[in-house]
């Protein structure tokens, strides 16, 4: 079933923020918090410092009415600067790869591709774009065992 969530970007304090949100909403993380140090080294990327390895790669927390907030830390060492406009993204999880491609194409039309759709190590067909109105959209299609594509 397709889902929508809200993705939040932090500048090094995602752990603190999500532990706070966890206490506010009295819920538990949807899965264990993934840290930057848990990510496999990618070809051509410089090694992460020990400080950056302790930052949040991904966290997900159910809040109300089936909505989840998700988050990550932006790494200054990688040139990421959090500011109003890139601190929040609407995350779409369409049911099919085709629907993911359709939505990405339409929402990026007249805007800019931040990251083209591609298969990622965590098992999703993922991408991100900025639409022509300046709104960030993230796409995550994870093929279920029953799906062909």
Q: What average pLDDT does the structure give for the chain?
A: 88
Asked: is 97-143 a CATH 3.30.720.110 domain? The reply is yes
Q: What is the pLDDT of residues 87-112, one digit of tens each?
A: 888 999 999 999 999 999 999 999 88
Q: How confident is the model at residue 144 (pLDDT cuts 50, 70, 90)?
A: low
Confidence of residue 131 (pLDDT cuts 50, 70, 90): confident
User: Which neighbouring-strand residues pair with 118?
Assistant: 126
Which tens digit of pLDDT belongs to each residue from 3-22?
989 999 888 899 999 999 99
pLDDT given at position 88: 86
From-to residues of CATH 3.30.720.110 in the chain: 97-143
| pLDDT (tens digit per residue) in 28-50 | 999 999 999 998 887 887 888 99
Q: What is the CATH number of domain 1-40+47-75?
A: 3.10.180.10
Strand order in the sheet with 56-62: 34-35, 56-62, 68-73, 3-10, 88-93, 136-141, 125-130, 112-119
CATH 3.10.180.10, the chain: domain bounds:
1-40+47-75
Q: What is the pLDDT of residues 55-89, one digit of tens each?
A: 999 999 999 888 999 999 988 877 777 776 678 88
3-state helix, strand, coil split of the chain in percent (to 5) is 25, 35, 45
**Alpha-carbon distances, residue 80 vs 34, 73, 86, 101, 108 (angstroms):** 19, 9, 10, 26, 21
Residue 148 binned pLDDT confidence (cut-offs 50, 70, 90)? very low
Query: For the chain, what is the total number of helices (H) and then of strands (E)?
Result: 3, 8
Q: Supply φ then ψ for residue 119, to 5 degrees.
A: -75, 130
């Amino acid at each position: 079933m397709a889902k929508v969530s809200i993705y939040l970007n932090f500048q090094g304090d995602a752990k603190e923020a999500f532990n706070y949100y966890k206490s506010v909403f009295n819920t538990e993380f949807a899965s264990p918090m993934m840290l930057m140090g848990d990510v496999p080294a990618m070809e051509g990327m410089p090694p992460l410092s020990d400080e950056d390895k302790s930052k949040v790669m991904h966290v997900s927390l159910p809040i109300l009415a089936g909505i989840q907030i998700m988050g990550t830390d932006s790494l200054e060492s990688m040139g990421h600067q959090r500011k109003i406009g890139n601190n929040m993204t609407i995350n779409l999880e369409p049911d099919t790869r085709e629907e993911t491609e359709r939505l990405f194409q339409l929402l990026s039309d007249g805007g800019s591709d931040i990251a083209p759709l591609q298969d990622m190590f965590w098992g999703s067909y993922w991408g991100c774009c900025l639409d022509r109105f300046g709104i960030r959209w993230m796409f995550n299609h994870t093929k279920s065992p029953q799906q062909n594509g």
